[in-house]
Amino acid sequence: MRLWLAAGGPAALKVMAAAGAACAPVRVLWGGPSEQPLAPLSPPWVPALELDSGTVLFSPNAICQFFFLARGEEPTDLTNQWLEWEATELQPAASAALYSQLVHGKKGLEAVEALGKLLAYIEQGLSRRGTAYLAGDTKSVADVVVWGTLFPVLQDETSLPIELQALKTWFQSMTHSEACRKAADSVLMPKALLELKSYLQKQPPPCLAMERAPSNEPEPSLQEEEGSERALTEEEITAAADAWARGAAALPKPWQPQKPVLPVEGMRNVLITSALPYVNNVPHLGNIIGCVLSADTFARYCRLRNWNTLYVCGTDEYGTATETKAVEEGLTPQEICNKYNAIHADIYRWFDISFDYFGRTTTPYQTTIAQDIFQRLLARGFLLQDTVEQLRCENCQRFLADRFVEGTCPFCSYEEARGDQCDKCGKLINAVELKNPQCKLCRGIPVVKPTQHLFLDLPKLEERLEPWLEQSWATGDWTANARYITRSWIRDGLKPRCITRDLKWGTPVPLDGFHDKVFYVWFDAPIGYLSITANYTDQWERWWKNPQQVELYNFMAKDNVPFHSVIFPCSLLGAEDNYTLVNHLIATEYLNYEDGKFSKSRGVGVFGDMAKDTGIPADIWRFYLLYLRPEGQDSAFSWSDLMLKNNSELLNNLGNFINRAGMFVCKFFGGTVPNMVLTPDDKRLLARVTLELRQYHQLLEKVRIRDALRCILSISRHGNQYIQVNEPWKRIKGDEKDRQRAGTVTGVAVNMASMLAVLLQPYMPSVSLAIQGQLCIPPDCFVLSHDFTCTLPPGHRVGTVSPLFQKLENDQVEALRKRFGGGQAKRTPPVSEPSPAPATLMAPGDPQWIQELTEEVAKQGNHVRQLKANKAEKAQVDAEVARLLELKQQLAVAEGKSPEVPVPKGKRKK
């Protein structure tokens, strides 16, 4: 590929940075505006990329996207919207600012005046999402493009308004990255900038509509701005007030399915599976969010919608990994399976995962169903026999299955690659391709010998697979990564896939000449969904051979996609037995741990059996994992961020609102919900909450679990602001009119808390149950509707109200960070931490509280600046920055503001 760039050209900067960030193999050709570009239609200063095919791209953003796509990073919806916003909103304003700098000689804040609202918009996007980068916790093409547009204008960082701290941190992080730094050095040379200035002086000044509001919201999934910015229609306000007045009687009656749960004619029947976890290890937080927790959240939502729902999972127990683990621990494979199945079940029970049935694959049903599918494929000519060159250990007198071999990866030279896949580069490997192979059992050097195996004839099944995929993609919800990975398999051409292995521990192959072999785990394991359901009910075929009535959702991490989107569907299509195939394939990216990966052997990261020893309740873990669920990009667990989200979002926002609403009923009205006389402002609040409620539904129906959680937090922010503005603690002391107003505000607030209890149930079931108990919410109200109704009418009595959340202290979190930071391969005893006392819930607007917090923020800010000046350890700086952010959040709450909206410059006392 040839990349034509004009030195000094603003668009060249982002293209060069994108090429570096994506490690694109391009040959750069430098020129100027007077030279002939690669594309005849390409205007001066605009980059052009000539592909190997001869096609020329001359849209800078398209070139940047091409580089990232070529690396296998498909943009998310959020990334695409940032790119569109950059092209339509930021780029024109940045061009005007650059023109004023180079041509008119403006400097600093004066030059970036045209960017004011746009910079604040980026700040808001970063701070609201709580992520390090625009579309997640890792850099994307959106970050490179937006940075590349801003950098020519903002090279002098002092021109950034001081209150835009999140933007400043992001901008510095991007500027200091290797790809961006090298791009700036090569593109923005003084001589080239003079040439650009000369060119611009001959052009008319850019025409920019002043005070233009940003469009193409980069976070349509949240719509937090929509609820506070766009005007409500009279129809929406009237409809919300009417829905409220209809009360609990308008709610659908909660559906209680019979046991076992079976499909019901005329109902929406939802079958949910999460990828079967390997039995041979303990799941870490990334495993838990990638599969079982995500599926559980959606299953709970489905039940609240009165959809007839079955959620099954279990341990994947056959295969090489189990035999390997058994050898390591000196146990039989069955003993290993029994041991780890119990560990898995205990972990998921603690995390409150609501399986209808959690089973295992080592059952007679697994053998029966797998062998039946095999026989049907064999009879229909979809299986092949072939001789395979395989490693054999003469010392052990056996052919070595892939995981019994280790060696050097032929692709990246990683020295501990397995015989099936390299953990470093992720590529699939044939064991005979390994360099310097070793037998894992005896450490001997194996030799290559021929052996017979059976193959699934995927090329022959491709003509059935492709039309099914097109239909499933058109009618179902597949995540972008699932579609991309599947397309890449199809695009590269399907090849016959081996389905047998030389093992003893597995489902036997029922064919003469192959009785010493078992089915390969990736032919066998997905059939576990069927056999586990069969162990739950002997009417399992009503779920698994009923595509007309059943919707199937598969949850997994992205590495499992091809087995669920290509291999397993091919097996079922070839079996020709009316099997239920996946309608919605939901795949996450990876969750990392702090700055690296989880590692049980190195003691890095929190594993499922350790979480309960931290003293942090299961619901807090659920909330945080779902808050940073890697839906579009990899994300990273961070102890500092966990503390921040617990203390700001849960304690100061959600918990603060629900506690105050309940306490006002108890303190001012004797524990009885007062009469309510709604004003136009109250009805507008009902309409705004209804918008958030419907957005919550839209997102969860699309399995946008993380984004839907923001709707809950947005509703509680609306509630806190509503209480703050109306001050019922003051009005209750006034005249009859004031006392009536206090009653109305309290009644509306406690009904918002009641609705939040239901919305929270998929995410934090124990907290939801606690709210239900404290407010005495009737069980018939625990069902989801699209309308906000009055479920706690005047006269309803609440119970004892108490704080829902506890503050996480910095010392406590630092101790946990050290404990799980490495070198703890053996289980360490639980850290003995005194339970922190619930934080005092003070009323927003309290002058003394505001003064104290203002002083604390100033003091902590000075402390952080001093640490940075002294070049303190990153971990120490991060912890103190987290403390500063927490204090700022508390101050925002105290001042009656949204805790995530940056405080305007000059509002705080210095």
856 backbone φψ class: left, alpha, beta (φ>0; ψ -120 to 50) = alpha
Which residue has better confidence, 231 or 148? 148
- pLDDT score at 833: 36
Q: Averaged over 507-519, what is the pLDDT? A: 94
- pLDDT score at 195: 63
Q: Which of 362-366, 396-400, 660-664, 671-675 has the lowest mean pLDDT?
A: 396-400
> Which string of DSSP letters, residue by residue, matches 305-363?
TT-EEEEEEEEB--SHHHHHHHHHHT--HHHHHHHHHHHHHHHHHHTT---SEEEES-S
Quickly count: other Cβ atoms within 10 Å of residue 284's Cβ.
24
Do 824 and 603 contact (CB within 8 A), yes or no? yes
Quickly count: other Cβ atoms within 10 Å of residue 316's Cβ.
24
3-state secondary structure of 279: coil
pTM above 0.75, yes or no: no
Which residue has better confidence, 71 or 897? 71
Q: What are phi and psi of 78, to 5 degrees?
A: -65, -40
- In Å, how far are 85, 91, 120, 150, 174 from 115, measured between CA atoms? 13, 10, 8, 9, 19
> Which string of DSSP letters, residue by residue, matches 565-601?
IIIHHHHHHHHTS-----SEEEEE-PEEETTB--BTT
Confidence grade of residue 93 (pLDDT, cut at 50, 70, 90): confident
Q: How far is it, in rounded angstroms, from Cα 17 to Cα 182?
A: 8
Q: How far is it, in rounded angstroms, from Cα 712 to Cα 756?
A: 7
Q: How far is it, in rounded angstroms, from Cα 758 to Cα 715?
A: 13
Q: How many residues does the chain have?
A: 910
> Which string of DSSP letters, residue by residue, matches 156-173?
SGGGS-TT-HHHHHHHHH
Round the average pLDDT of the chain to a whole number and report it.
84
pLDDT reading at 682 higher than 80: yes
Which residue has better confidence, 290 or 632? 290
493 backbone φψ class: left, alpha, beta (φ>0; ψ -120 to 50) = left
The two tokens of residue 870 are: 């002294």
User: Percentage of the chain surpassing pLDDT 70?
Assistant: 83
Confidence grade of residue 223 (pLDDT, cut at 50, 70, 90): very low
Q: Averaged over 111-127, what is the pLDDT? A: 78
pLDDT reading at 130 higher than 60: yes
3-state secondary structure of 828: coil
Strands 269-274 and 308-315: parallel
Q: Averaged over 670-683, what is the pLDDT? A: 96
Radius of gyration of the chain (CA): 30
Q: What is the largest CA-CA distance in the chain?
A: 95
pLDDT reading at 112 higher than 90: no
The two tokens of residue 722 are: 């509503």
Give the CA-trace dihedral at 396, 399, 401, 406, to 10 degrees.
60
pLDDT reading at 832 higher than 70: no
pLDDT reading at 882 higher than 70: no
Q: How far is it, in rounded angstroms, from Cα 763 to Cα 781?
A: 18
- pLDDT score at 196: 60
Q: How far is it, in rounded angstroms, from Cα 258 to Cα 172?
A: 58
pLDDT digits (tens, 9 = 90+) for 474-485: 999 999 889 989
Contacts of 326 (CB under 8 A, 6+ apart): 332, 333, 335, 336, 505
The two tokens of residue 348 are: 């998921």
Confidence grade of residue 849 (pLDDT, cut at 50, 70, 90): low
User: Percentage of the chain surpassing pLDDT 90?
Assistant: 53
pLDDT reading at 424 higher than 50: yes
Letter for the amino acid at 19? A
> Which string of DSSP letters, residue by residue, matches 774-822?
HHT--GGG-S--SS----S-TTPBP--------PPPHHHHHHHHHHTBS
- In Å, how far are 30, 388, 593, 614, 741 from 831, measured between CA atoms? 59, 52, 20, 7, 49
Q: Which of 274-283, 694-703, 813-822, 844-853 has the lowest mean pLDDT?
A: 844-853
The two tokens of residue 238 are: 């009237």
Nearest partner of 313 among 349, 285, 339, judged by Cα: 349
3-state secondary structure of 604: strand
Cα angle value 623/273/345 (rounded, 5°)? 65
pLDDT digits (tens, 9 = 90+) for 29-52: 877 555 544 444 445 556 888 888
Q: Averaged over 67-91, what is the pLDDT? A: 83
Do 326 and 336 contact (CB within 8 A), yes or no? yes
Q: Which of 192-201, 556-565, 823-832 has the lowest mean pLDDT?
A: 823-832
Q: What are phi and psi of 314, to 5 degrees?
A: 170, 175
- pLDDT score at 873: 66
Scan for tokens 């910079």, then name that residue. Answer: 119
pLDDT reading at 225 higher than 70: no
Confidence grade of residue 265 (pLDDT, cut at 50, 70, 90): very high
Quickly count: other Cβ atoms within 10 Å of residue 417's Cβ.
27
Strands 398-399 and 383-393: antiparallel
Scan for tokens 């509680």, then name that residue. Answer: 716
Strands 417-418 and 435-439: unpaired
Cα angle value 471/476/482 (rounded, 5°)? 95
Contacts of 806 (CB under 8 A, 6+ apart): 651, 835, 836, 837, 838, 839
Do 567 and 535 contact (CB within 8 A), yes or no? no
Do 180 and 151 contact (CB within 8 A), yes or no? yes
pLDDT reading at 403 higher than 70: yes
